[in-house]
Chain A
Amino acid sequence: MTTLSITELSKELRHAIEQLETTGSLDEVGIVMRVGDGVAWIHGLHSAGYSEVLQIETDDGIVEAFALNLLEDEIGAVLLGRDMGVKAGQTVRLKGTVLDVPVGPELLGRVVDPLGRPLDGGPAIKTKQRGIVEREAIGVMGRKSVHEPLMTGIASIDAMFPIGRGQRELIIGDRQTGKTALAIDTMINQAKQKTGVINVYVAVGQKLSKIARLVERLKQEGVMEQTIVVATSPSDPASLLYLAPYSGTAMGEYFRDNSQHALMIYDDLTKHAVAYRQMSLLLRRPPGREAYPGDVFYLHSRLLERSAKLSDDLGAGSLTALPIIETQAGDISAYIPTNVISITDGQIFLETDLFYQGIRPAISAGLSVSRVGGAAQTGAVKAVSGSLKLGLSQFRELASFAQFGSDLDASTKQQIELGQRLTELLKQPQYQPMSIWQQVASIAAVTRGYFDEVAPSKVKDAQAALLTKLWADHKKDMQELEKGGKPTDELYAVIEKTARSVVKGFAG
């Protein structure tokens, strides 16, 4: 506790005594009946509403809780913090507000908990505004269809599964398949391409060491100034894990509502559902499939509905969401994965097999999809990647035949080689998001046949040589390409000429 100066304390005390004289109105009160496992059961407070904040008067100050179970003659309230100090018989009051958190640009660059308290050792956060944690989603009339790109900087996503601002694209895969890596690269790309998009990264029950490393990396890459990290660790009470995504969304909504663009990353919603299941069981709600409560679908649907592209009347801001889901042994038909798949506008599916074959990012071309991003794809990338997905899936099919070693006709062989080159091309190391011109030039080189002589194992080297040479000799043209418009024939000619000049060293 802070030591107070005598003058300060006596001023407070005199003020308190003055207040004693002004009689106010009666407060509604209840009492704690029992408490345990982070849940307090309260008698009284008949006018309490769902998600309303309650204040419990303990010997050691006031502890806050929020009402989640409103029963006939008792209230189940989840404590926002540890339950030490809360005892049966203590007085409970209504705070008179639903849960809210500080929101605004003051949070940028900070690491906070789900109640907006700093975790980074920095100064206290003072914002002009607060946002409601459980805010309702924008209605139909306030929305517009998704039409601007949100570039991830990952060539295979931007080319085959483009994401638009306001879209909700799920990242799904087993543990250790590079899910978080995709999200981080996307955040980094917002700084690299200077898109101005604000990142809000919500860590649900992640090791603090992991979060610290992430923040360190974001600082190093120069992205932290446009990022807010909402962090919860496995040792936090389930109530905080449960709140984290909603609080983070409230922080992101501030930017959406002020004509800016924000990107939400929920890492991950599987742990979020587990925290909610734990809370629900402690609140003695009836368990359903996989012991989740009946309303677990609503848990994520109401969260993800808050992502939107706003209409011009509302300022045309956007909130894009990249929720992450962890699967067990690639099973996307389990309860939580199917729920979230049905809520989102597409998914990027990461496969363990691909990951261990060294194909990273391990994106499955067949099982991934983006349902609304096509309309938002950057023109330049769209122009060169039309045949990409088809080429890749045909290749996977043919490759399984080719295993039998039978004689293949020339055209099949050619297709297989093209597939191999594409697969190599789309490999991309971590922390190296690609800009638009890099993506366009690389993809064009393979799909338009400029690299036909290059051995698949040398595609990456050829690509690097091409990009270096293009930037050295044709910087102006590449800057033109970076603007995102459809490439002109002259531009293609420049890429072709340069590509053909570098292939010689990389022939098979």
Chain B
Amino acid sequence: MAKRLSRRILAAHLAAAVEDGDAKKAVKQLAAHLIETRRIKEADLIVRDAEQQLADRGVVVGTVVSAFDLSSAMQSALQTMVKKETGSRQVTLVYRSDPSVLGGFAIHLPGKQLDRTIQTHLTTLKTRFKKA
């Protein structure tokens, strides 16, 4: 059997393919490889790693979660802010609304986060009052 490929190498392969524009083929290859080597469980992590590597090369894909739909002015403000903060050349943000965050918004980027939801603040408060 061939040498076990590390998660980092698989992720690098996937990231390179996405950058070159033939992601579809690479994803199929990767899926086959994971099934064959019984590593399906690692799929999520490999995608995360690939996202991280793409981000390192200046291509950021992220999600914005908010309780209510954000106005387009707000959306473009976030876009500009992420671009500035990460220093990347290409930023794609996917918007999703989720009432369970109660209010505010959170930006999830590969390995980074800006969490301004009320839900998270409540968790922090909960911890603080539990300690006291």
**Interface set of A (CB-CB < 8 Å, partner B):** 1-2, 4, 12, 16-17, 19-20, 23-31, 33, 43-46, 57-62, 72-73, 91, 93, 124
Contact = CB atoms under 8 A, between A and B. Distances in A.
* Nearest 5 CB-CB pairings of A with B: A61-B127, A16-B121, A29-B113, A26-B112, A62-B127
Contact of B107 (A26, A28, A33): A26
B111 A30 contact: yes
- The interface residues of chain B, by DSSP majority, are classed as helix
Q: Which interface residue of B6, B8, B49, B124 has the most chain A CB atoms within 10 A?
A: B124
Nearest to A1: B130
Interface in B74-132: 81-82, 85-86, 103-104, 107, 109, 111-116, 118, 120-127, 129-130, 132
B73 to A, nearest CB: 14
Contact of B125 (A16, A17, A23, A28): A16
Nearest to B7: A73
- The interface residues of chain A, by DSSP majority, are classed as mixed
A44 B85 contact: no
B41 to A, nearest CB: 10
A60 B124 CA distance: 10
B52 A25 contact: no
A124 B131 CA distance: 10
Nearest to B106: A91
Contact of B114 (A27, A44, A72): A27
Given A26-B109, A44-B111, 19 more contacts: A1-B130, A17-B103, A20-B116, A20-B121, A23-B116, A24-B114, A26-B86, A27-B113, A27-B114, A28-B111, A31-B48, A57-B123, A58-B123, A59-B123, A60-B126, A72-B8, A73-B6, A73-B49, A124-B132
26 contacts: A1-B130, A2-B129, A2-B130, A16-B125, A17-B118, A19-B116, A20-B103, A20-B116, A23-B116, A25-B85, A25-B114, A26-B85, A26-B112, A27-B112, A27-B113, A28-B111, A28-B112, A29-B112, A30-B111, A33-B45, A43-B48, A44-B48, A44-B52, A73-B6, A73-B45, A91-B113
Contacts of A12: 125
A469 B9 CA distance: 85
Q: Which interface residue of B49, B109, B118, B129 has the most chain A CB atoms within 10 A?
A: B129
Interface residues of B, number: 33
Contacts of A20: 103-104, 116, 118, 121
B111 A29 contact: yes
Contacts of B124: 62
Contacts of A16: 118, 121-122, 125
Contacts of B104: 17, 20
Contacts of B130: 1-2, 61
Nearest to A124: B132
B107 A43 contact: no
Contact of B8 (A17, A29, A33, A73): A73
A23 B112 contact: no
A25 B126 CA distance: 23
Contacts of A60: 126
A83 B123 CA distance: 17
B118 A61 contact: no
Contacts of B116: 19-20, 23-24
A16 to B, nearest CB: 4
Given A57-B123, A61-B126, A73-B6, A26 B114 contact: yes
Contacts of A23: 81, 114, 116
A72 B49 CA distance: 12
A28 B109 CA distance: 9
Contacts of B49: 73
Q: Which interface residue of B6, B48, B104, B113 has the most chain A CB atoms within 10 A?
A: B113
Contacts of B81: 23
Contacts of B126: 1, 60-61
Contacts of B113: 26-29, 91, 93
Contacts of B120: 57
Contacts of B125: 12, 16
Given A28-B111, A29-B112, A19 B7 contact: no
Given A27-B113, A44-B48, A60-B126, A19 B8 contact: no
A96 B69 CA distance: 33
A28 B103 CA distance: 22
A11 to B, nearest CB: 11
A50 B61 CA distance: 29
A24 B115 CA distance: 9
A2 B128 CA distance: 10
B45 A43 contact: yes
Nearest to B116: A20
A23 B6 CA distance: 38
B115 A27 contact: yes
B46 to A, nearest CB: 10
A361 B29 CA distance: 73
Contacts of A19: 116, 121
Contacts of B127: 61-62
A2 B132 contact: yes
Contacts of A27: 112-115
B112 A61 contact: no
A25 B109 CA distance: 12
B57 to A, nearest CB: 15
